Amino acid sequence: MPRERPHSSSAYDKAIGLLVRREHSARELKSKLARKGLDAGESAAALADLQAKDFQSDARFGQMLVRTRIAGGYGPRWILAELRQHGIAEDVAQVLLDAAEPDWPALVRDLVRRRYGAKPAAGLAERRKRAAFLLRRGFDPATVQSVTRTEGLGSADELD
Q: Where are the domains of the chain?
A: 10-52, 58-100, 104-159
pTM exceeding the 0.85 threshold for the entire prediction = no
3-state secondary structure of 49: helix
Predicted local distance difference test score (pLDDT) of residue 9: 55
Contact 2, 39 (CB under 8 A): no
In sequence order, which residues have a C-beta less than 8 Å from that of residue 128 and are 6 or more positions away? 154, 158, 159
Predicted local distance difference test score (pLDDT) of residue 150: 64
Among 21, 22, 98, 18, CA closest to 30 = 18
Predicted local distance difference test score (pLDDT) of residue 15: 93
List the chain pLDDT tens, one digit each, 160 residues.
444 445 445 899 999 999 999 999 999 999 999 999 998 999 999 999 999 999 999 999 999 999 999 999 999 999 999 999 999 999 999 999 999 999 999 999 999 999 988 887 778 888 888 999 999 999 999 999 888 776 554 444 444 4
Predicted local distance difference test score (pLDDT) of residue 158: 41
In sequence order, which residues have a C-beta less than 8 Å from that of residue 97 and are 6 or more positions away? 66, 76, 79, 80, 83
Instruction: Select from 1.10.10.10, 1.20.120.1200, 1.10.10.1100, 1.20.120.720 the CATH code of 58-100.
Output: 1.10.10.10
> Do the domains 104-159 and 10-52 match in fold?
yes
Instruction: Select from 1.10.1240.10, 1.10.10.10, 1.20.1070.10, 3.40.470.10 the CATH code of 104-159.
Output: 1.10.10.10
Predicted local distance difference test score (pLDDT) of residue 5: 47
Specify whether domain 10-52 bears CATH 3.40.50.720. Answer: no
